[in-house]
Amino acid sequence: MKKSNFLFIYLIALISFLSACSNNIHNIAEKSDPFEKFNRKIFSFNKQLDLNILKPASEKYISTVPVNARQSISEHLDWMSLPNTIINSTLQFDLENTVLASAKFLLNALTLGFYDLDNNETNIDKKDFGSTLAKYNVAEGPFLMIPLLGPKNARDVAGLFLERKYSSNVSLNEVNDISLGDVDLFEFPINFIYTRGKLSTTLDSVYKSSDPYIKMRSFYVQNRRAKVYNNKYNEFKDKEKDEAFEKLLQ
């Protein structure tokens, strides 16, 4: 058995074990956090890294790169993520999303995604391996703060492992003899800076909170569950409890 396959099996087994410590979707305002003490240390590390490196880099990127160029890069990064959405839409039996994402990927392959020939008219629901695991009723497990990557739950960590393992095998050779691996050195740092720019307002709000760690945890949990469970999230959400919880963070 390959080492990577063994690691994946071990990771899934670990999630199943840790999920015994985790609450379920009914408890929206709170999140099982058995590793809070360690998570807070990682959060502090990530915060300093963000404030000292990522935020200045993002601000410099926005101030120096023309709007049109930033838009092209944004569209390229979105296009690069489409194969992941296609795979996971298929695994989740979402035929409509699979067809739409596939069509958009092939159409914009003509420009390598730097220009959206579809003019953003096609509404595609982005999916990842974490949401696929949720579809197959894998429990989300406890909250984790990951160096550089930020907040995740155990299920999404397994999803990231799957994504890196299988997405790295997807290539654009059919389009222009350019593999995804060849552009990783370009994509990785730009993606960090691009994502940081999109989250600028949110992160400013988090850092100003009386307890930034809890604010970050709450933001991640609620938004991730809303994305993964879609309409089902609203069925479980306790609005009164959730609003009361948020007031404590002001």
pLDDT digits (tens, 9 = 90+) for 147-158: 988 999 999 998
Contact, 108 vs 115, CB < 8 A? yes
Res 177: pLDDT = 42
Q: What is the mean pLDDT of residues 217-243?
A: 71
Q: Give per-residue burial for 179-216: e unless 16+ CB within 10 Å, then b.
A: ebeeeeeebeebebbbebbebeeebebbeebeebbbbb
Res 234: pLDDT = 53
Burial class (CB in 10 A: 0-12, 13-18, 19+), 246: middle
Q: What is the mean pLDDT of residues 60-89?
A: 91
Res 48: pLDDT = 96
Give the lowest-confidence range in 93-97, 98-102, 160-164, 236-240: 236-240
| Banded model confidence at residue 2, pLDDT cuts 50, 70, 90 | low
Q: Give every CB contact of residue 9 below 8 A, 6+ residues apart in sequence.
A: none
| Banded model confidence at residue 230, pLDDT cuts 50, 70, 90 | confident
| Banded model confidence at residue 166, pLDDT cuts 50, 70, 90 | low
Tell me the two tokens of residue 168. 């790295």
Amino acid at the residue 5: N
What distance in Å separates the CA atoms of residue 229 and residue 85, rounded to the nearest whole number?
A: 16
Mean pLDDT rounded to a whole number for the chain: 78
Q: Give every CB contact of residue 15 below 8 A, 6+ residues apart in sequence.
A: 138, 139, 141, 154, 155, 157, 158
Q: State yes or no: pLDDT of 248 exceeds 60.
A: no
Q: State yes or no: pLDDT of 162 exceeds 80.
A: no
Res 119: pLDDT = 84
Using N-to-C axis directions, what is the helix angle for 212-229 and 200-208, rounded to 10°? 140
Taking the domains of the chain in order of start, what are their residue ranges?
3-23+46-198
Predicted TM-score (pTM) of the model is: 0.74
Q: What is the mean pLDDT of residues 191-197?
A: 83
Q: Give every CB contact of residue 79 below 8 A, 6+ residues apart in sequence.
A: 104, 105, 108, 109, 112, 113, 116
Q: State yes or no: pLDDT of 91 exceeds 80.
A: yes
Tell me the two tokens of residue 169. 């095998």
Tell me the two tokens of residue 220. 């991640």
Tell me the two tokens of residue 128. 């990842």
Q: State yes or no: pLDDT of 97 exceeds 50.
A: yes
Give the tens place of pLDDT for each residue, 16-74.
555 544 444 444 434 579 999 999 999 999 999 999 999 999 999 889 989 999 899 88
**SS3 assignment for the chain:** CCHHHHHHHHHHHHHHHHHHHCCCCCCCCCCCCCCHHHHHHHHHHHHHHHHHHHHHHHHHHHHHCCHHHHHHHHHHHHHHCHHHHHHHHHHCCCHHHHHHHHHHHHHHHHHCCCCCCCCCCCCCCCCCHHHHHHHCCCCCCCEEEECCCEEEEHHHHHHHHHHHHHHCCCEEHHHHCEEHHHHHHHHHHHHHHHHHHHCHHHHHHHHHCCCHHHHHHHHHHHHHHHHHHCHHHHHHCCHHHHHHHHHCCC
Q: State yes or no: pLDDT of 86 exceeds 80.
A: yes
